[in-house]
Each structure stands twice: as C-alpha cells, then as structure tokens.
Structure 1
Amino acid sequence: MASRAKSVEEGFLHPRSPFGADGCSPGFRLPYESKDGRRGSIVLIEESSSQTYADPLSLRAWAYQEFILSPRILDYGELRTMWICWADDSPTDGFLSTPTAYWSRQRFQEIISPSVQANIVSPHQLWSTLVLCYMRSSITDPYDRLPALAGIAERLNTIVQDEYIAGCWKSQIWLDLLWWQADGKSRNRPAEYFAPSWSWASIPDGDLNYVSTRSCMVDEAFEVLDHNIKLSYPQLRYGPVTSGFLVVQGRIISEQYTSINTDMI
C-alpha cells in the first residue's frame, strides 16, 4: 500500500523527510554509532505524536476496506515502512504505537480465521469499532458509505450468519442503534438520501460514537417487529439502499451505580 502518497500523481519511494520537519510534530534527532562502527540517528518524540499521525491513504474510506481484508500488507507510510500480517505488525522504525485501526484489523483476522478457537471480542462488538474507525475517513460521495464497507460486512457475515440491515445487524440491532454524531454538527436532514436516519451511514461525514454497552441493560424482549430495506441493486445485499424503515420494541436502560457510605448502615 502506498499510504504516504497524497494522490495518484505522487510517488511513494522518494526519501522521507525527518519526522517533525513540518513543525507540527517536533522531535529531537540524536546521532549514534553501533558496535560495528555504523552510524545513524534516532528521533525522540512524544508518544502521542507517533500514534496520532495518519498517512493520506489511511484517511480515505475506500482504502480502509483494503487494509482490513488484505491477509498481508507492505505499507509504505510517510514515517515508516511496515509489514503487516495476521501474526505480526513490524514497523521499520521501532515505534510500537498501535492505532485502533491496526487493533481492529488484528481482531478481524482472528475472528474470520478458522484456526482460532476463541476470541475475547465478539464479532458484533468488533463491528462497532470497525464502523468508528471507518467513519473517521473521508469519502467523496456519501452515497458510497455502505458500498465502501460492503466487503467487510460480507466477510464478517460468514461468521455471524446474521441479517444485514443498512449497516446494522438484526440480532444485535440495539447495539448498532446506540450511536450519536460526536463532532457536534447539526443532524439536519441532508439534501440527498444516503441511508435510513437510524443508520450510521446516514451521516455524510464526521466522527460518531457509540454508547458504551457496559453501562446499559437491555430488555430481553427487545426485538425487531418489522423492517424493510430497498436495495439500489438487488444483487448487492451489502450495497447502497434507496429507502428503508425499522420498527423495534423493547427498552434499553442506562445503569447507575451509587456508592454506599458504610457508616450509614
């Protein structure tokens, strides 16, 4: 993956600029000499700087699917070249930062791998994390939000065997509905239709968050009473939609914990 390239006109094999050369992420470059006489240098920076830097390609929605689904990746980034596979991710510069996207990819590969017997992360919980990472990326046409994630949804469904409803999963629909737009933008109805308003795919752009399921109790009787999704292309089960409705029944209660003063007992 040519992650460092900003466009198709820009190459990716040119020399890298020193980290912090743009003035946005200052660091210290220190020379060193190894035991065999070879000389080089190391760059000391704040840990948060290496974790928050994002290459241009990683901010594109269509590239996210390629990153998650590819069994092996040789990633040419602006800061480092990185070999990524199911068993390991090894950066050439020694940084051990693990962005959420890398964590999500590793968990996804574990879940779809038949050789892994148990996973500490459920597929539906992982889907929420994948959507969070995906929605931080940019897309030219918001209508492509569902198509650009269709490959991941289709691959994940080989494991969960669930019904896909405009970016949500029927068996855990309560979890997929617990989102809100995190950047404070108004939720005015856009001029164009992208997806049903209850789906995260209805947001043209911007971050979103999910309510922590650890703080919620879900009614065991919570169920989908009725739903209908009209696909733009009937043969593309995970693709774009032109309309849809959803009717659910049940309660989701936010748990509250109150500390007890033992002196009052």
Structure 2
Amino acid sequence: MSPCSHCAALDLARMVGPAGTAEDVLHHKNLKEAHECGAKGCILCLKIAEELAGRIGPYNNVNNKAWTSKAIILRPIQVNLQNGLHGGVFWIKVRCGDEAFHFNVYPSSEGPNPVPIPSTMVVGHKVNEPGSKEAFEQIRGWLKWCINSHQKCKSPNTMPTRVLNIGAVGDSTVRLEVTQPTTHNGHYMTLSHCWGPVQHPQSMTTRANYSAHQQRIPINILTKTFRDAIEVTRQIGVKYLWIDSLCIIQGDAADWDHEAKKMGGVYRNSFLTIAAAYSPDGNGGCLSPDYKMTKALVKCTTPRGEGKVWLIPRRQDFDTLHKTPLHRRAWVLQERILSPRTIHFADGQMLWECRQGRRCETGVPEQAMTTHRSTWDNRLHFLGPSPRQFFWDWYDMVHDYTARGITKGDDRLPALSGLAQTMLAGLDKEQYVAGLWTSHLVWGLLWHKSRDWLRWPGHYRAPSWSWASCDGQVSFLDPADVHSSALPAIPAIQIIKVYTKPKVPTHPTGQLEEGGWLQINGKMIEIDQRAAPGSAKYQTLPATVPEGTMTIEYIQHRDKNLGIAWFDKAYSGPHTLFVLRVARFKNVQADKPYPHLFYGLLLRPGQNSREFKRIGFCRYKSLQNTSGKPLMEWRDPFKDAKMEMCILK
C-alpha cells in the first residue's frame, strides 16, 4: 500500500518553522478527498478518514457539508522547554472543523541503514509487546528510577494479614501465607482489578478451602488477571502478592470487618500496585491487548539525511485513564491515591505513576498529560493534605467518587475508609463523621444532586445529612462562591454536637449503624408545601450541566418565591417542609449581611418536634436576571425566626 501524493510530500521536519514553532499544514482540502485517497491504499489517509467519519458520521445528505467544506489540518505538538523554547514533537494533531484527534510519533529504526532522528526533533518510543522481555525491562527501569530518585515513594515493610507466596518463574502453584513479623520481611505487591458481574469461586479463599490454599493454589484455575499479576510480580523479583479475594476470607463477615479497616494500609504500604486498567472482569488480564495498530510511515528530514517516523493512533494515556473499566470503580480511587507506585496496564501501553512522577511507554512527556490530574489528585496524592485547601479538595474528590460504580452500596463509606484514615493522620485535632469533617461541617452539609435524582437503599447506611446515605453523584459548593471577595458566605448555624455509630467500634471510618445525629442551633422557617409537577405553582429553573439538564425547582414562602431548590428525590406528594438557613452572604462594602441571601437545607419533620431529616438543598443568591430586575422579592424570611436547637438524623 503506497501513500498518496499528499502523504508522500509530508515531511515532519517542515512542520516546525525556523523559530522552532509549530506550523499548520494543509493535508487535504476536505474529508471526502482524504477518504478517496484512503480507499486507494494510503494508510494515513485511511486512518484519518476512519476517525473523522466515526465522529462526523457517514457521507450522506445530512453530513455532506461536513465532508466537503472543512479542510484537514495537521499540527505538531511539541515539548515546552523551561527556557521558553520548543523541543521535539510527540503528537500530531489532526483537525477538521471542530473535530480533533492525535497521532503518537516515534522514529523508525527499520531498513538497512536508518537515519537516526534526534530527540530535539521527535520525542517518542515504540510500545513493547505485552508480557515481552522488553516490557518487563521497561517496568524494572521505571522502578529503578523511582527507587533511586524519589524519597516520597518509599514504603514501610509492614505486611498485610495474609499474602500469596508466588514462588519462582515457571512454578505451577502459589500458596496463601499468614504473615508473621519474624518470618515475613521485605516487599509485597498489590493488585487493583475489577471483579466483574460474574464471580469466580476458584479465585476466592473461603472457610472451606482456607487450609487447602495454605498448602497450594494451582495457578491454572485462577482468572487470567490473577495469573498475569503473578507473572508480573515474579518478573519484578518480589516474593509476595496481595489480592483481595484470595487474601480476605470471602463470605466471612468477621474477617471482612477485620480486614476492611486495614485496606488503606495494604495499598499504602505496597511496594508496587498492578492496575488491570482495561479489564472489566477477571478474564481480561493485564498482558492481553493486541498493541499492533495500523501505522503510517512519514518522512522526517534531518541534517544527516531523510529519516522516517511512524504515526500511530494515539495510545491510551493519563488523559483517558479515567475512562477505563477499572478507574470507573469506587474502590479503586483510594487504591490509586494511596499506592506509592502503580503500573497501569492500559489499552495500548503501560503507564507508570508514583508519588513524584509519571511515565508512559510512548515517551510522551509528563507535563503533557495533566488534563485529568485533578486538584484533589495533586493535593492528596502528591503533596499531602493542606489544612486550608484540603476540605474543598475532599469535596471535589467525593464528587468524582460518587459517580463511580460500586457493587455493594453499603461499601460507600468503607471504600474511602483507608483514605480517610490517612487524612486523619495528617490533620491535627480533626474528626471524620459519615464522609465529612467536623471542623468544616457547615460547608460539608451543603451537598446536592449533580444531575439525576438520588436513590436510597431501603435501609440505614448513614444519617440523612451525609452524602453517604444515598446513591448517585453529588456536588458541593464552589469555594470561589463561599470566599468571594465581593460577597463571601458566612456560617449561620452553630454546630453543637455530632454523633455517628460505627458498625465496628474500632473502625470509625467504615460502615455505620442507625443512630447518628447532628445537633444544631440555627434559624428555621416552615415554607409552602412543595408544588406538584403540572400544578400552577410548579416552576423550574432551566439548568444545564455537562451531562445534560437538571431539575431545579422554585420554593415558596407565603406564596412568594423564596429561592431555588435541588430536591434529593422526585415529587412524591405534599408534606410539611422547612428550610434551615445554614449560611448567609455578607456585603463587604457595608460590612453587613444580606438578610435575604442564603444557603439552606430542606428538611422534613421527624417523630419528635425538634427532629428533622434532610430532603434537599436550597439557596437564594442570584440578585438579578438578565433584564436587571430582581428574580425574587428582596425580603428576609428569617427575620422573625429565633435561633433554636434542632436535631438532624
């Protein structure tokens, strides 16, 4: 298959101008032209046309204009050096109108006398075959770099309760060992994986096979993910491996309660975590993907002659890792953050992540892969907790966490338990209660649904004021709104006491039993009953979020709009409704609060007169609409209300 005239003339060296800056190159005048070249055998045009057609749609009357009116532009993406200059190219960006995607770039070493491409021109590496000698050498090289260079990545030699003794390369069995301080020293590795919808009894330790597993476990009966993890551990030269379903006795509630509180420490003390990122279950493994992708050869003229570089569709990297099956799991969030080192087996390449750096097989520089390194990721994983910013980072992390899948809803708090324990150790005089922090509880109470209605499990999981009481993604306030220089929010309640009842007394960050409560002094008013959809009083505020639209309703007090509300559940009938004012806004210029602007909780009365349950979040903050007129009457609905004590359950 030969390149078309456009691709034959393409020279990567000419895509960088005399000043070292990237230059746009017209590749084809439109998608239709590229598609025709691809149909005739040009590999690069074929891959470009396939990618764009997948985004735009097939050529037809509807997409005719998109196929014929927009040019295809190529632009090299370069390394930004500290001195402001530009280094080598690591991506080629393909743009057609609003659509864009990337190719990875690496020099070709094929042919009898290949012309070497200097790293000042091209930065990139060929990806190794999964499970190959070269791939394991790459992991060992990253590990050596980390051990020799990074002080923050060191882990103590504290063993879990049980580990797998994996034996030597080529052994057909492993065995389960109960650790002893005198006999079990050195490092162990951990596996982060998806269980999947189908359970694999042969890959679990139960009371029935516990004794047998201490004698031997045939490797060939284990899932492919487990077999691959054993092979990786052996190749690294580590003797022990921890896998949850084999090292925690399944079906034994007492053992689970005992081990769950240690889960954070298991990953925090691990020498290296193996993350089976692309596998949705135990059958996918770590060493399975076919990395062979169609690639196109392009010229790259150097001072030594005409060299060649390969362009291949961009491999999965840190920017897309959050979309993998593994990283959509709730449990894996703390596994990733707490592990000092992780080797991610992604779909297309291996990715290295430790507390002080990131690397990928393709050689893309670390600073290029920051799109999805969240603020909380930086704060919690790489820098440690900051007393002022930590709480807002925690809320941002919970927003991410609550969007992830979890098999057992009752694990909503346990799956963050290890992370909470680690944070407690770094925060002086702090208390963790039902997923929130006592010293910042005023703001932690003000969570709301992110888009969809929230769901309740039908039994007690946490008090109603905790986001952990329900299923579904939640959001918190934006710290910029709370700390606004023009209109800062200030607490309007006094938290007297908070109480939660751990299921296991020695595990306060884990599951809770019924009985938790929060005692507050604040102003509360009864408001009009919630308007039923379709009724004359029912009004909604159109709201757009990244995933679509969200229902935000107006609430009323004495037949006048009081504010807008994010109810937790859909309307289920009229009932008595209260608003507890949690925070109000301060007029910086006048140094007085705006009495009518507030954040609040929507409450339903409980069995006793001063007991309530949370059913939503509300606010009145927007002063004017686009026409400059007030959206709601400026009045203080809490003017005649007194500070009173209430109990939230």
User: In the superposition, relative to structure 1, how do residues 188 and 81 fare at CA in structure 2: closer, same or farther (>3 Å)?
Assistant: closer
Q: What are the Cα deviations for residues 208-247 of structure 1, in whole angstroms up to 9, with x where unaligned? A: 1112132234435743212221111101011110121112
| Aligned-partner Cα distance in 1 for 2:307–2:439 | 62
User: Would you say the 8 A contact 2:330–2:404 is kept in 1?
Assistant: yes
| Aligned-partner Cα distance in 2 for 1:29–1:183 | 41
Which of residues 174, 180, 184 is equivalent to 2:442? 174
Letter in 1 for 2:324: D
* Cross-structure match for 2:333: 64
| Aligned-partner Cα distance in 2 for 1:257–1:165 | 35
Q: With CA pairs under 8 Å and 6+ residues apart, which has the higher RCO, 1 or 2?
A: 1
Unaligned runs of 5+ in 1: 20-27, 114-118, 259-265
**Residue 219 of structure 1 aligns to a residue in which SS?**
strand
Which of residues 92, 117, 122 is equivalent to 2:361? 92
User: Would you say the 8 A contact 2:491–2:583 is kept in 1?
Assistant: no
* 1:107-256 matches, cutoff 5 A: 107-112=379-384, 122-161=389-428, 162-185=430-453, 187=454, 189-204=456-471, 206-216=472-482, 217-219=488-490, 222-243=493-514, 244-249=516-521, 251-253=582-584, 254=598
Shift of 1:120: 9.8
User: In the superposition, relative to structure 1, how do residues 175 and 221 fare at CA in structure 2: closer, same or farther (>3 Å)?
Assistant: closer
Shift of 1:37: 5.1
| Aligned-partner Cα distance in 2 for 1:68–1:218 | 31
**Residue 323 of structure 2 aligns to a residue in which SS?**
coil
User: Would you say the 8 A contact 2:340–2:355 is kept in 1?
Assistant: yes
Shift of 1:102: 5.3
Shift of 1:195: 1.3
From the CA coordinates, give the structure whose radius of gyration is larger.
2
Letter in 1 for 2:279: A
Letter in 2 for 1:164: Y
Shift of 1:257: 7.3
TM-score (ref. length: structure 2): 0.34
User: Would you say the 8 A contact 2:278–2:284 is kept in 1?
Assistant: no
* 1:19-58 matches, cutoff 5 A: 30-32=296-298, 39-43=309-313, 51=320, 54-58=323-327
User: Alignment length, in residue pairs?
Assistant: 242
User: Would you say the 8 A contact 1:51–1:97 is kept in 2?
Assistant: no
Identify the range of structure 1 (131-140 vs 77-86) with the bigger mean alpha-carbon deviation: 77-86
User: Would you say the 8 A contact 1:175–1:213 is kept in 2?
Assistant: no
User: In the superposition, relative to structure 1, how do residues 237 and 99 fare at CA in structure 2: closer, same or farther (>3 Å)?
Assistant: farther
User: Would you say the 8 A contact 1:86–1:106 is kept in 2?
Assistant: no
Shift of 1:132: 1.4
Q: What are the Cα deviations for residues 40-98 of structure 1, in whole angstroms up to 9, with x where unaligned? A: 223369xxxx5486111001111111101011111111244211112222233438343
Letter in 2 for 1:83: W
User: Would you say the 8 A contact 1:231–1:239 is kept in 2?
Assistant: yes
| Aligned-partner Cα distance in 2 for 1:121–1:221 | 20
| Aligned-partner Cα distance in 1 for 2:321–2:339 | 23
Structure with the largest fraction of strand: 2
Shift of 1:188: 5.8
Identify the range of structure 1 (232-241 vs 157-166) with the bigger mean alpha-carbon deviation: 157-166
Letter in 1 for 2:284: E
Shift of 1:198: 1.1
Shift of 1:183: 2.4
| Aligned-partner Cα distance in 1 for 2:343–2:503 | 35
Shift of 1:167: 0.6
Shift of 1:147: 0.4
Letter in 2 for 1:13: L
**Residue 11 of structure 1 aligns to a residue in which SS?**
coil
